[in-house]
Structure 1
Amino acid sequence: MERNESGAPPFLFGRRIVLGVTGGVAAYKAAELVRRLVKAGAQVDVVLTPGGAHFVTPTTFQALSGRPVWCDPWDERRANAMAHIDLTRGADLLLVAPCTADAMARFAQGQADDLLATLALARACPMAVAPAMNRQMWLHPATQRNRERLVADGVLVWGPAEGEQACGETGPGRMIEPEEIVARLEAFFAPKWFSGHAVLVTAGPTYEPLDPVRVLTNLSSGKMGYALAQAFAQAGAAVTLVSGPVSLPTPLGVTRVDVTTAEQMRAAVLERVPGHRIFASVAAVADYRPARVSPQKIKKGAERLTLELVRNPDILAEVAALPEPPWCIGFAAESENLDEYAERKRREKGLQLVVGNLVQEAMGRDENTVVLYDENGRIPLPTADKVQVAWGIVRHVAQRLGLIDTAVERGDL
């Protein structure tokens, strides 16, 4: 998989997106959205309504997109004076963000009274909207009828989110953040190799308590596991993520289960693993835990403190040994002898795939260098952002399971 400047999978690279910006205060977020899309390699043509121009000027969007901004249905820059027809020809998506209540109403009714509304009616590509309005406007029966009409017409409605609004009220109606819109776009364009399949992923560290305030843990950030869960979800899988304590947002479309200790993680995994085609054990589970947990804080006193540790359950080995196990992916984070230890782990636990890396090159970092080990041997992946690495792993699994042939023939990736 080729890498682009943003480090993200290339599903937006080379895509042409027509972005409609309507007259809501969330128009300022559209500027950040354009910046992110351009960085990911997309070509963005901005269509600005008169209301949108009250909040952000065409000059801003032209500077961010590097493209002319369109406002007037009578714009003569097109030789045929038909920008209202031509702009969506060859486009991959018409996205309206923010989309006001008024814009939703006009789209639902098929009006064509300005350039953006005409584009929506004459488009030759899919369409998505990211609503943004006051909570009462969003909850009004008329807006909900318009939303239902748009969905029935095949328009994707992304959001809105809940939270504080510019009017000072709190509730549903906020436009989802640019980062989430980009994630939804990546998911929209990603090949759906795993549609109809369920994937269970573990991520992050575990905390093994010594007393009420101290724990045994490790330096895992959870980034690799979260990136893998996100990639599987974008590839169409129904993903459940069992996560140790991390400070990462839940990936879009992923069901998250929070746990703290290794025993809690084991219970959560064994409860959910039936029905899952794939199990990816990415979590850095503590190998040992204290034999006894002090009910009170251990006071500093003696020069030495001896702790008795007992082994934690091996979750991956237990899942792989089930009578009807899922397709199992293990991770081997080693400080030396990577090839030897990773291959030994794969054979001893009966795993279909082991992803190996050196901890000094990955722990806590955004980039990773991994080697895949399966029955066919050793397959190194290029050093890349963990999101990129995750897609390399997902692609390899899809190939191994015979899910990728049709996608390759179509040139999806």
Structure 2
Amino acid sequence: MKTIIVGVSGSIAAYKVCELVRTLKKNNYDVEIIMTHNATKFISPLTLGALINKPVLIDDFDKEGYKIKHISYAKKADCFVIVPATANIIGKIANGICDDVLTSTFIAATCPKLIAPAMNVNMYDNLATQRNIERCKTYGIKFVEPGYGLLACGDTGRGKLADLNQIMAMIEYCLCNKPLKNKRVLITAGPTQEAIDPVRYITNHSSGKMGYALAKRAFELGAKVTLITGPTNLDFPYGVKVIQIKSASEMFETVKSKYQKQDYIIKAAAVGDYRVKEIAQDKIKKKDDILQLELIKNDDILAYLGQHKTDQIICGFAMETKNLIDHAKEKFIKKNCDLLVANNLNEPGAGFKNDTNKVTFIAKDKIQQIELMTKNNLSDLILKELIKIKEEKHVNSN
């Protein structure tokens, strides 16, 4: 079990730490909390201690006054996050000042470190604060930039504590090894929409969950991720460049403009195979019992990538309702993929909209069935398989 130390400094946003700690505990992390004395004015140590079922550290010495704790805490940390971080605490860390247990432990820790600022907009924009932030970054400390909005003081601007999902994403990032560091990964996700008239369109049941999970995990593994997504109801993954499209043609043109600079391309989107030949300028009125639409075939994005790839590793997806392996093997060869992830829509827990999936990996001289698992866990397996394929190609080319 990995240990996360959560440092809390004296900001009104301290109350939001409760939800962060609950989420960390729910994800099976061991959590230790260190508070400054000013932080205790905003939220009770008893409250936070109850959430982790252990005392919160506020002073460096125990009740007997002889056991110094900041070193022992620093040694067991796998990740250290200060949330919220005031201008004061950032200034101390930037300049190596250790005048309380939080700063002493933070500077003593050798694990990955993360700071989530929260303060008045003028304090955040002040040149001294920005200089201190940049200095901290040179030490290897990661930051979750504050959000923009109405602040507790009544001012409006940048200084709100970042969304807790963003903070969690950065904690996960800090905890991961980085096999994809400096690698570029392009991922497509979600459905496409093909307009019929100004009101109606043709689409499919894709939720985008698989592609978004892949983008999130690729970022955690150190990649520079571009996500090209059709319309979904999902929050964009933190740290990922997102390009929104609607139609298959828009996705095709966007992929063509980006693919050459990528190391890995994962086509997880459910792209419409056909579009209406002529989109009606006005809403089609209901007249007859039968409405006939003339459809034409969309460009095959995966086939294009397979034909034009150089040293990119390309992963495709196949959704079938019967003869899964036969159809998937045929697609793997025809589209010139390095890996094809195939799933049967009729399998319980697999396919569209679910948080889980059950798939089969099709690769050169390999067919591997993967048991039912969450799409988050599956994304990790897919990326590790792609990394392995790339390494094998490199060895064989030498």
Normalised-by-shorter TM-score class = over 0.9
SS at match of 2:74: coil
* Superposed CA offset, 1:310-368 (max 9, x none): 11111100111116362211100111221111111101222111101122422111111
Q: Which residue of 2 aligns with 1:303?
A: 289
Displacement after TM superposition at 1:121 (Å): 3.6
Q: Which runs of 5+ in 2 are unaligned?
A: none
The AA in structure 2 aligned to 1:186 is E
Q: Which residue of 1 aligns with 2:240?
A: 254
The AA in structure 2 aligned to 1:177 is D
> Judging changes above 3 Å, is the alpha-carbon distance between structure 1 residues 325 and 76 closer, same or farther for their aligned structure 2 residues?
same
Displacement after TM superposition at 1:124 (Å): 4.0
Q: Which residue of 2 aligns with 1:39?
A: 26
* Superposed CA offset, 1:191-215 (max 9, x none): 2112232121111111100000100
- Measured in 2, the distance between the counterparts of 1:238 and 1:109 equals 31
- Measured in 2, the distance between the counterparts of 1:126 and 1:318 equals 41
* Superposed CA offset, 1:228-251 (max 9, x none): 122222212222111111122222
**2:222 maps to 1:233:** no
The AA in structure 2 aligned to 1:55 is F
Say which structure, 1 or 2, has more relative contact order (CA 8 Å, 6+ apart).
1
The AA in structure 1 aligned to 2:245 is V
- 2:194 alignment partner, one of 208, 211, 216: 208
- Measured in 2, the distance between the counterparts of 1:110 and 1:73 equals 17
Q: Equivalences for 1:2-401 in 2 at 5 Å? A: 14-76=1-63, 80-322=66-308, 324=310, 326-360=312-346, 361-401=350-390
- Measured in 1, the distance between the counterparts of 2:58 and 2:196 equals 64
- Measured in 2, the distance between the counterparts of 1:127 and 1:70 equals 18
- Measured in 2, the distance between the counterparts of 1:125 and 1:327 equals 32
Identify which range, 110-119 or 224-233, moves more after superposition. Answer: 110-119
- Measured in 2, the distance between the counterparts of 1:277 and 1:120 equals 36
Aligned-CA RMSD value: 2.0
C-alpha contact (below 8 Å) 1:29/1:177 kept by paired residues: no
SS at match of 1:46: strand
The AA in structure 2 aligned to 1:386 is K
The AA in structure 2 aligned to 1:37 is L
- Measured in 1, the distance between the counterparts of 2:54 and 2:380 equals 30
C-alpha contact (below 8 Å) 1:320/1:326 kept by paired residues: no
Displacement after TM superposition at 1:68 (Å): 2.0
Q: Which residue of 2 aligns with 1:411?
A: none
* Superposed CA offset, 1:84-134 (max 9, x none): 332112212221100111211222233333221222343343432111101
SS at match of 1:401: helix
Q: What is the TM-score normalised by the length of structure 1?
A: 0.90
- Measured in 2, the distance between the counterparts of 1:122 and 1:345 equals 54
SS at match of 2:322: coil
The AA in structure 2 aligned to 1:68 is P
Displacement after TM superposition at 1:65 (Å): 1.6
Displacement after TM superposition at 1:21 (Å): 0.6
- Measured in 1, the distance between the counterparts of 2:325 and 2:14 equals 52
- Measured in 2, the distance between the counterparts of 1:48 and 1:183 equals 23
- Measured in 2, the distance between the counterparts of 1:95 and 1:105 equals 16
> Judging changes above 3 Å, is the alpha-carbon distance between structure 1 residues 213 and 235 closer, same or farther for their aligned structure 2 residues?
same
C-alpha contact (below 8 Å) 2:113/2:174 kept by paired residues: no
Q: What is the TM-score normalised by the length of structure 2?
A: 0.93
C-alpha contact (below 8 Å) 1:329/1:351 kept by paired residues: yes
Displacement after TM superposition at 1:157 (Å): 2.4
- Measured in 1, the distance between the counterparts of 2:336 and 2:183 equals 22
> Judging changes above 3 Å, is the alpha-carbon distance between structure 1 residues 290 and 100 closer, same or farther for their aligned structure 2 residues?
same
- Measured in 2, the distance between the counterparts of 1:153 and 1:370 equals 42
Equivalent residues, number: 391
C-alpha contact (below 8 Å) 1:128/1:157 kept by paired residues: yes
Q: Which runs of 5+ in 1 are unaligned?
A: 1-13, 406-413
The AA in structure 2 aligned to 1:381 is I
The AA in structure 2 aligned to 1:230 is K
- Measured in 1, the distance between the counterparts of 2:18 and 2:82 equals 13
Displacement after TM superposition at 1:76 (Å): 2.6
> Judging changes above 3 Å, is the alpha-carbon distance between structure 1 residues 132 and 323 closer, same or farther for their aligned structure 2 residues?
closer
- Measured in 1, the distance between the counterparts of 2:71 and 2:215 equals 39
Identify which range, 194-203 or 128-137, moves more after superposition. Answer: 194-203
- Measured in 2, the distance between the counterparts of 1:76 and 1:382 equals 52
The AA in structure 2 aligned to 1:107 is I
SS at match of 2:33: strand
The AA in structure 2 aligned to 1:367 is T
Identity of aligned residues (%): 36
**2:391 maps to 1:402:** yes
- Measured in 1, the distance between the counterparts of 2:280 and 2:140 equals 59
SS at match of 2:115: strand
The AA in structure 1 aligned to 2:233 is S
> Judging changes above 3 Å, is the alpha-carbon distance between structure 1 residues 265 and 95 closer, same or farther for their aligned structure 2 residues?
same
The AA in structure 2 aligned to 1:223 is K
- Report runs of 4+ in structure 1 exceeding 3 Å deviation: 121-126
